[in-house]
Structure 1
Amino acid sequence: MPSQNIDPIFQLIKSLTPSEKRHFRLFTNKSGSSEDLKFLQLFDALEQQESLNEEKVLKQVPSIKKAQLANLKNNLYKHLLSSLRTYHAAQNLDIQLHEQLDYARVLYNKGFYQQSLKMLDKVKVTALEYELPHIALTAIDFEKLIESQYITRSLSGRADSLTQEATAVSTHIAQMHRLSNVALRLYGLYLKVGLARNQEDYDSITTFFQENLPEIDNQRAGFYEKLYFHQAHVWYYLMIQDFRNCYRAAQKWVDLFDEYPHMKERRPVLYIKGMHNLLNALYNLLYHSKFTAVLQQLEEFAADPKRKSNANIDTLLFLYLTTNKINAYFLEGNFTEGLQVIPGVLQNLEGFQAQLDPHRMLVFYYKIASLYFGSGNFKKAIEYLNKVIHHRNTSLREDLQCFARILNLIAHYEAGYDDDTLDYQIRTVYHFLGKMDNQQQMQVEIFKFLRNVGGIAPHQVRDAFAELKERLIAISENPFERRPFLYLDIISWLESKIENVPVQEIMRRKAGRLK
């Protein structure tokens, strides 16, 4: 991506909706100062450009000198954020409560202590009702400051009451942080390593989980404590490949929003993520009927005109709906049918590029490559696998990088590339496997087979595929060797070679038995 297109102010302007732009113009025009006029002129000039060209801006707005441009851009950025804060305040309770804290500070500075305390009490009550303990604690700390400096005589026993409130809320927050820290560290480990590769991984993950995750009292725990508790279990069970318990933990995550119905509106991102993890668990279990029902539930939520909408929510809905729609094609073995979603996916990937992290982009490319591979278009599969293989940050998902290379090697074999090209691919896979911390038997067996397949007589190839299939089935009996089969359904590919039918025909046959 060209560097000019990631300029923060330009990126922010290009993300604005028509109503946000209209609001900014009204917001800036209030004072009518010459400085505000320059902001608007700069805003209009940048808004009209497809890619940032500062020289063109200076020609378009002669009143702006080159020496002023950097400072004006910084101030415009601040004005835009202030405008967006005001515009979105109605949909964000935390913004409203922070604003009321600011008003309480103004009243305090003016010496109106009773008015300030009254406002702080309202903030505290609302924050606790909507599970925002950090804001509640800020309000309590401010109340303590006022009570400690001035004799308000607002309530008898006020000091004891505030002390108890502060202790209770801070205890809540401390427990939340302990739980969220464990959940976040487990998620970070998952992004780096993927699923447990061996007994050592299993023991390490389990020891960390058991030693760091605190127990919770369901009667006293708040929404976030329960949420982080379930999140930690989802990541733990996912990494140790206990997909049944992962499904149960993800279901509890989603069910939490039935227990706290207002949180679906207040924290839709957490609800959407919970639904995605539930779908992921169902996909790993090959639980097709339940997967279809939950996906429909997520689609209904996305289509609800009353739900909250912003760029973050829309990005996640695109990400998770698209991922799971593609997974549905995998479950059903309808790879060719799934190809129809790719143009829309690529267009949206471009539109959401600023919001999507590299890990999610790589997963999309791998899934697109898998659709092409399953439909028999091996050259297109190679094109998208190369986007994963040649990504500049190879520390992300070592397992995904590995399976992309193996699938790429198989795709080269299927596409009928010449021996020199195939030899080059074999060398690159061998080099990558050599750098991996831990190689698994499935990876090694496939690599050995593809390295030697050129020397097998044509009439013996079918038997060689059958022998490899039997070896891999035996390997898959080991729980720690099942991980690669989740990323690469090599057994179905081997069956397609043995029976001389397209791989998606094998997949459809299996899907029919699962329904």
Structure 2
Amino acid sequence: MPTTKTDYLVQLINSLSKAEKRSFRLFVTRNQISEDILFLQLFDELSRSKKYDEEVVLEKIPGIKKRQLSNLKAHLYKQLLICLRLLARSNNVEIDIRERLDYARVLYDKGLYRQSLDILAKTKAIAIRQNYYVLALNVLDFEKFIESQYITRSIQNRAEELKKDSLALTRKIEKTQAFSNLALQLYGLYLKVGYVRNRHDAEYLHDFFYSNLPNYNYVELDFHEKLYLSQAFGWFHYMNQDFANYYKYTLRWYGLFESYPEMKETTTALYLKGLHNLLSSLFMSFRYEKFMEMFGALQDVPKQGLLQTLNTEGLYTLFYYVHLINRHFMTGTFSEGTQSMKTLSEMIDRNPYAWDTHRIIVFYYKIACMYFGSGDWSSAITYLNKIINAKTPDFRGDIQSFARILNLIAHYELGNQALLEYQIKSVYRYLAKMKELQEVQDTIFKFLRRTPKMSKYELKDRFQELHDSLIKLREQPYERRAFLYLDIISWLESKLEDKSVETIIQQHFLNMQEKGKFSSIIKR
């Protein structure tokens, strides 16, 4: 087994719970003595060490010869998957449907066509009821295959009935795929550039979205069609910074699960993502009380028994930390928030849920902002450097760019003037290359370039000028984008009022609470 496949095996073993490991041993030893099973001994060694070291394995298990290792690892991997599939079938409708389809194939191969068709009929009904239309079409294709070869029923219009069912399922699958493909393409575009940067981006996004959006009648759509449609519209409005409509479609997404509560169990990942996006929309729309209500709903998810797999547990943990951080950003409680960041940072290092690089980079940016808000400039720089020095910065050019800007400000706070002069030029070139150099960034650069030459008395006047300039820019639709990543204005106000950023944000929050609104330092 090649190194990559070996890594997969170790990752799979490390992901197993104690109950799953116990079940695997019982599964393997049901017909054999454990001491005689070499791949089980290999499993025990990898489970204990949590890593693969060929020399150690050969030393600890004398019965294994080096030439056997590749086949043993491949066999162990396969047996683990077989065991996990058996464990999951009672809790996973999709696996149960596939297993029923396998039973029908076995009966067909035995020549028991009537029994095979009976199982297929029941399986198709389950698949349609649970909205697994691709699986239902697979079942239907098998039904047609049997009916076309053998006289099995006396129903006169059986062929016409199968044809109608097939056409109906095909149309439904095409519509669902069109919506889900559009949502996925928008997400891919967001990973590349983030929010729209200018009129050209906005026009491109508009044309792309509506040229790929199929015609539909919302009332006639089923659960999954409505869900993916809401997801696609949500991404479209989110990238356009239209947070009112983003809230509208994320609320619709979440509402689908309230209307179909049984879908929470069968599509838990989509339910969690819907709740996450609704919380994000409330955060972006400055709705603190509603945000806290839905954050409570997120925290109640484990009590509902929905976290049945490592995947759903990982998603829940991911979204919990995202919105825990957002809550601190809303209220300006950065110093308090840094206590949770230590736990989160340790979890990222271990990465037990295999979070992807994008999620980790977003977390690094949020953690850096938390430390920045608390006035810990050095810790902020530590996490910003993790983004800047990332080996594969081929996505989220927006975060890559604003991480560099925040890094400049943190170095300014530390008084690293010599380093600042060098980095300003480097960052300026980077932003120009990434097409992220908008008027807001240019204005900040001009200010930072002049600071070394300013006297202490002149500095406050320049802070005021920069503050006033940015206030005007914030009213412009595409320049407003910059303030979604960093509330530079609150930082400037902290300088003008000689207060901490944390104090300024807390004052904003209290003032906005009195008016029924609130403001925030970091949005995404």
Any idea what the Cα deviations from partners look like across 1:406-455, whole Å, max 9, x if unmatched? 000000000122x3222222232123123122421111111111111111
Match of 1:376 in 2: 375
Alignment of 1:486-497 (within 5 A): 486-497=484-495
Is 1:457 aligned to residue 455 of structure 2? yes
Match of 1:406 in 2: 405
Is 1:392 aligned to residue 391 of structure 2? yes
Instruction: Report the Cα distance in structure 2 between the residues aligned to 1:428 and 1:513, rounded to whole angstroms.
Output: 39
User: 1:513: how far off?
Assistant: 2.1
Match of 1:425 in 2: 423
Match of 2:334 in 1: 335
Is 1:138 aligned to residue 115 of structure 2? no
Instruction: Report the Cα distance in structure 2 between the residues aligned to 1:280 and 1:459, rounded to whole angstroms.
Output: 42
Match of 1:86 in 2: 86
Any idea what the Cα deviations from partners look like across 1:375-413, whole Å, max 9, x if unmatched? 000001000000011111111100000100000000000
Matched letter for residue 309 of structure 2: N
Any idea what the Cα deviations from partners look like across 1:238-275, whole Å, max 9, x if unmatched? 01110000000000000011222110111011011011
Is 1:262 aligned to residue 244 of structure 2? no
Match of 1:500 in 2: 498
Residue 353 to residue 193, structure 1, CA distance change in 2 (3 Å): farther
Contact 1:315 1:352 (C-alpha < 8 Å) held by counterparts:
no
Residue 33 to residue 139, structure 1, CA distance change in 2 (3 Å): farther
Instruction: Report the Cα distance in structure 2 between the residues aligned to 1:6 and 1:410, rounded to whole angstroms.
Output: 44
Count of residues paired in the alignment: 511
Contact 2:474 2:480 (C-alpha < 8 Å) held by counterparts:
yes
Instruction: Report the Cα distance in structure 1 between the residues aligned to 2:342 and 2:76, rounded to whole angstroms.
Output: 36
Contact 1:4 1:52 (C-alpha < 8 Å) held by counterparts:
no
Match of 1:232 in 2: 232
Is 1:318 aligned to residue 317 of structure 2? yes
Instruction: Report the Cα distance in structure 2 between the residues aligned to 1:36 and 1:145, rounded to whole angstroms.
Output: 45
Instruction: Give the match's secondary structure for 1:219.
Output: helix
User: 1:15: how far off?
Assistant: 1.1
Matched letter for residue 273 of structure 1: K
Runs of 4 or more above 2 Å deviation: 3-6, 33-36, 215-220, 350-354
Match of 2:47 in 1: 47
Alignment of 1:18-167 (within 5 A): 18-32=18-32, 37-167=37-167
Instruction: Report the Cα distance in structure 1 between the residues aligned to 2:4 and 2:369, rounded to whole angstroms.
Output: 33
Please point out which of 423, 427, 434 is paired with 1:436. 434
Contact 2:311 2:353 (C-alpha < 8 Å) held by counterparts:
no
Any idea what the Cα deviations from partners look like across 1:463-490, whole Å, max 9, x if unmatched? 1011001111111111111111011000
Any idea what the Cα deviations from partners look like across 1:94-148, whole Å, max 9, x if unmatched? 0011000000000000000000000000110011111110111111110000000
Instruction: Report the Cα distance in structure 1 between the residues aligned to 2:420 and 2:429, rounded to whole angstroms.
Output: 14
Instruction: Give the match's secondary structure for 1:90.
Output: coil
Provide the identity percentage.
Answer: 45
Match of 1:359 in 2: 358
Match of 2:291 in 1: 291
Contact 1:288 1:514 (C-alpha < 8 Å) held by counterparts:
no
Instruction: Report the Cα distance in structure 1 between the residues aligned to 2:25 and 2:223, rounded to whole angstroms.
Output: 39
Unaligned runs of 5+ in 1: none
Match of 1:473 in 2: 471
Contact 1:378 1:414 (C-alpha < 8 Å) held by counterparts:
yes
Instruction: Report the Cα distance in structure 1 between the residues aligned to 2:257 and 2:154, rounded to whole angstroms.
Output: 38
Instruction: Report the Cα distance in structure 2 between the residues aligned to 1:424 and 1:313, rounded to whole angstroms.
Output: 45
Contact 2:371 2:377 (C-alpha < 8 Å) held by counterparts:
yes
User: 1:5: how far off?
Assistant: 11
Contact 1:365 1:385 (C-alpha < 8 Å) held by counterparts:
yes
Unaligned runs of 5+ in 2: 514-524
Instruction: Report the Cα distance in structure 2 between the residues aligned to 1:148 and 1:376, rounded to whole angstroms.
Output: 74
Instruction: Report the Cα distance in structure 1 between the residues aligned to 2:376 and 2:307, rounded to whole angstroms.
Output: 40
Residue 34 to residue 329, structure 1, CA distance change in 2 (3 Å): closer
Instruction: Report the Cα distance in structure 2 between the residues aligned to 1:208 and 1:448, rounded to whole angstroms.
Output: 36
Instruction: Give the match's secondary structure for 2:152.
Output: coil
Any idea what the Cα deviations from partners look like across 1:133-183, whole Å, max 9, x if unmatched? 011111111000000000112523111111100110111001111111111
User: 1:46: how far off?
Assistant: 1.0
Instruction: Report the Cα distance in structure 2 between the residues aligned to 1:24 and 1:245, rounded to whole angstroms.
Output: 49
Matched letter for residue 281 of structure 1: S
The TM-score, its normalising length taken from structure 2, stands at 0.95
User: 1:353: how far off?
Assistant: 5.1
